[in-house]
Amino acid sequence: MFEEGFPVPPCVAKKTFFRTVLGAWFLMSVILTNCYNGIMTSELNAPLQGRHPITFNDLVCSKIKQSKQNPDYVLSIGRNISALDTYVHKAYHKQIRQFMWNLQPNSSLLHPITSFDCFKLLSNLVNVAFDQRQIPEFLDLLYDIHTSLLDPGAPNGRQTLSEHFISPVFDLMFNLLNPMHAHTPASVNYSTYTVETVRKLVENEIVSCGKAVFAGTSESVHLELVFLQKNYPRTHFYKGDLIFALPFKLLFTNEGISKVPTYFKFMLESGIYRRLEMEQWNNAYVGRKAIVQRNNYPHGAMPVSMTGSLLTAFILCGCSVSLATIFLAVECRLKLLMYFKGWIVLIYFKIKHRICYKK
């Protein structure tokens, strides 16, 4: 539409307003056509957008999917669930237990078979018993779910493989507990193992856009996403689907004639409890600052130099205005000439009048 010409009647082509408008339109059509061609060239030559995980199944390492450590793979090849290899999981579960209870000096949560090609499942530390060491929240969930299977001294008795894997969720959680997935930051120092230091290390690995994800409860993931999007606007963060939802219950024992259960029920039904819970989560992020400065500039914006793309924009604008001015002068040369003649005559008579007045 911009580059194709069309015939114009001679009576219209000689009009001044038409020639002026058409000249400006020709100039803008050249600019718009070049912009469109540039965008098309950039889009065709640009690399394809990277894929990001949506579900927890997307996080399972490819090395695990095709191994006997995966319950789904064992069943897919026609084997019984008893053929599942749980040796690595048992060793890792024992390592976590020794770390939590500090049963072995200089213990850590890093496993020798951790693969850098697999996703890191990171989370903040969770509060545990008074005499235990804190472990990441998501790792604590995986540890508790498979304790009855992997811990020989489980308090409720050890389950068999067929009794444990009763749903696909347990198969998925079993794969995520595989030590090929790191559950703690790589640079964590266990001598200064605190909630704040681990949180900073987790944030650093998440914003580095590597193969690391933040896992936790719905509230913690949502608030972490809001914080990261606010402090790192140039980085795109995504939130995946839930792995499962667990209802919770509150049991009041020996309440007698107390009205506390009734009042608590009113708080739940009116939404006050939910509001207080959200305020508690929000207060945890009050005063928190980003540990990675955006482009190392305090205001988060990189200064624009005149030698970059901004200079090109000034050159294009200057050329467009200059060409438009030249075309306008050529098209309106008769009127401009009459205007300049009248202006010169007016100045001449003013000067002559002043000379006569002085005499």
The 3-class SS string of 120-151 reads: EEECCEECCCCCCCCEEHHHHHHHHHCHHHHC
Of the three residues 262, 293, 324, the one that is the final residue of a domain is 293
Domains contained in the chain, number: 2
pLDDT of residue 88: 92
Intra-chain end-to-end CA distance of the chain, in Å:
67
In this structure, is residue 104 part of a structural domain? yes
Listed residues 263, 293, 323: the one ending a domain: 293
- 308 within domain boundaries: no
Q: Pick the last residue of a domain from 276, 293, 310.
A: 293
Residues 266 and 188 in one domain: yes
Whether 168 maps to a domain, the answer reads yes
* pLDDT digits (tens), the chain, 359 positions: 555 666 777 777 777 777 777 777 777 777 777 777 777 777 677 666 667 888 899 999 988 988 999 999 998 888 888 889 999 999 999 998 888 887 777 778 887 888 888 999 999 887 666 667 888 989 988 998 888 888 877 766 667 888 888 888 889 999 999 999 999 988 887 777 788 888 889 999 999 888 899 998 888 888 899 899 888 888 888 888 887 777 777 888 888 888 888 888 888 889 898 888 888 877 877 778 888 765 544 444 555 555 555 667 677 777 777 877 887 777 777 777 888 888 888 887 777 766 665 55
Residues 106 and 216 in one domain: yes
Kindly give the residue spans of alpha helices, DSSP state H, lying in the chain: 10-13, 16-45, 62-65, 71-76, 87-100, 137-145, 147-150, 161-164, 168-176, 195-207, 218-231, 260-270, 272-283, 309-331, 333-358
Q: Is residue 316 in some structural domain?
A: no
| Rounded Cα distance, 137 and 239, in Å | 17
Rounded alpha-carbon distances, angstroms, from residue 22 to 4, 224, 269, 328, 337: 14, 55, 69, 11, 22
The reply to whether 140 falls in a domain is yes
* Predicted pLDDT of residue 180: 93
Q: Are 114 and 235 found together in one domain?
A: yes
